[in-house]
Amino acid sequence: MSANLLIYLDGKIVPESEAKISVFDHGLLYGDGVFEGIRIYNGRVFRLTEHLKRLYDCARAICLTIPISFEEMEKATLETVAANKLTDGYIRLVITRGVGSLGLNPYQCPKASVIIIASTIALYPQERYEKGLNLITCGTRRPNSAALSPQVKSLNYLNNIMAKIECLQAGCDEGIMLNDQGLVAECTGDNLFIVKNGKVSTPPISSGALDGITRRAVIEILADMGIPCAEVPMTRFDIYTADECFLTGTAAEVIAAVQYDRRLIGDGTPGKLTNDLIVRFKALANSTGTPVPYS
C-alpha cells in the first residue's frame, strides 16, 4: 500500500492519514453497510456500471440511502483512481450507515458515509495461478437466505471470515461453503465452477451463491465459445468427481482448483478449459471497461 494513498471520503479526496470515520459509525459498530470490490485494468475500470448497479441494489435491500447519485458515484470512483494514478489495481467502495447512537436503530443515523479506496491487490501468489489451489469443505455454513440474502454484499463478513480461518488453519488456500441443506453455495470469497465430460456447471444463486460480476463475465465468455453453462444444485460429490474446477472473483479473477478435501480434481493440475478461460478473461478485462480520465 502506498504511503501517499488518496481516499475519497464523503465528497473529498484526502490523504490516507486524514481518512477517518467516527467510532459511532454503524458500519464499525454493527457491520451495517454495503461494499463493492472493483478492478482496474490498463487504465479502465472493469464493469463499473454493473458493480455500481449491484451496490445501489444492495443498499436498497437494506433500506440504506446512498447520499449521492449513481452518476456522482461513478464520477467519484473514476476521480479517485485518477488521483492515485493507478492504471492497474483494485477499488474498494464502501457505504456505511453513518454516525448514530449506540443502539441498533438505523434511523438514528442521519446520513450514510461514502468511502472509495483505490490501491493494489494480490490475492494469490503467481504460483497458485500456475499450479492451482487446494480446497477444503468448511464447517461454517452460508446463512439461510431468509436471514440475509446472499446477494447483499454487506460489511458483516464474519461468516466468510470464520470459514477462511478454517482454510488457513488447515493449510489450504480456499474452502467451499455449503448452505443449510448441505448443497454447495460458493467459496469464502469466490464463485465456483466445475467441468465434467466437457460440460460446465456452477451452483445457482438460489443455493446461496453471490451473483458475481466475474461469474457473469465467465458465463458470457463460455457462451461465446459455444459452451453452455448450467446452473444446477451441486454436492461435494460433483466436485470430487469433476474433470476440472475453477473459481472466479473480482480479486481472484479466474483460478484453477486442483485438490478438494485431499482428493485430486482431474489429474491434479489446472485443466485445459480453465487455462483457456484464464487467458480469455485477461484479454477481456484488459480491453474493455470505463476509461479513467487521467489529467
Instruction: Dihedral sign for Cα 187, 284, 120, 153, please.
Output: negative
pLDDT of residue 3: 60
Query: Coil, helix or strand for 75?
Result: helix
Please state, in angstroms and as integers, the Cα–Cα distance from residue 186 to each residue in 120, 135, 137, 211, following that order. 25, 12, 11, 10
- With contact defined as beta carbons under 8 Å apart, do 268 and 274 qualify? no
Q: Tell me which H or E stretch contains 101.
A: none
CA distance 40 to 65: 26
Q: Give me the residue spans of the domains in the chain.
A: 6-119, 126-285
pLDDT of residue 92: 98
Q: pLDDT per residue over 240-275, tens digit each?
A: 999 999 999 999 999 999 999 999 999 999 999 999
Please state, in angstroms and as integers, the Cα–Cα distance from residue 67 to each residue in 8, 96, 105, 258, following that order. 14, 11, 19, 44
126-285, what's its fold?
D-amino Acid Aminotransferase; Chain A, domain 2 (3.20.10)
CA distance 113 to 66: 8
pLDDT of residue 245: 98
- With contact defined as beta carbons under 8 Å apart, do 170 and 136 qualify? yes
Q: pLDDT per residue over 144-161, tens digit each?
A: 888 889 999 999 999 999
Q: What is the model's pTM?
A: 0.95
Cell numbers given for 86 = 493507478
Please state, in angstroms and as integers, the Cα–Cα distance from residue 10 to each residue in 7, 73, 110, following that order. 10, 11, 14
39: nearest Cα among 3, 81, 1: 81
CA distance 137 to 176: 5
Query: Coil, helix or strand for 221?
Result: helix
Listed as ranges, residues in the chain with pLDDT below 70 are: 1-3
Q: In sequence order, what are the residues at sequence separation of 6 or more whose Cβ sits closer than 8 angstroms to the Cβ of residue 233?
A: 183, 203, 204, 207
CA distance 51 to 68: 16
Q: In CATH, what class is 6-119?
A: alpha beta
Q: Could you give the maximum distance between any two Cα atoms of the chain, in Å?
A: 57
CA distance 283 to 286: 5
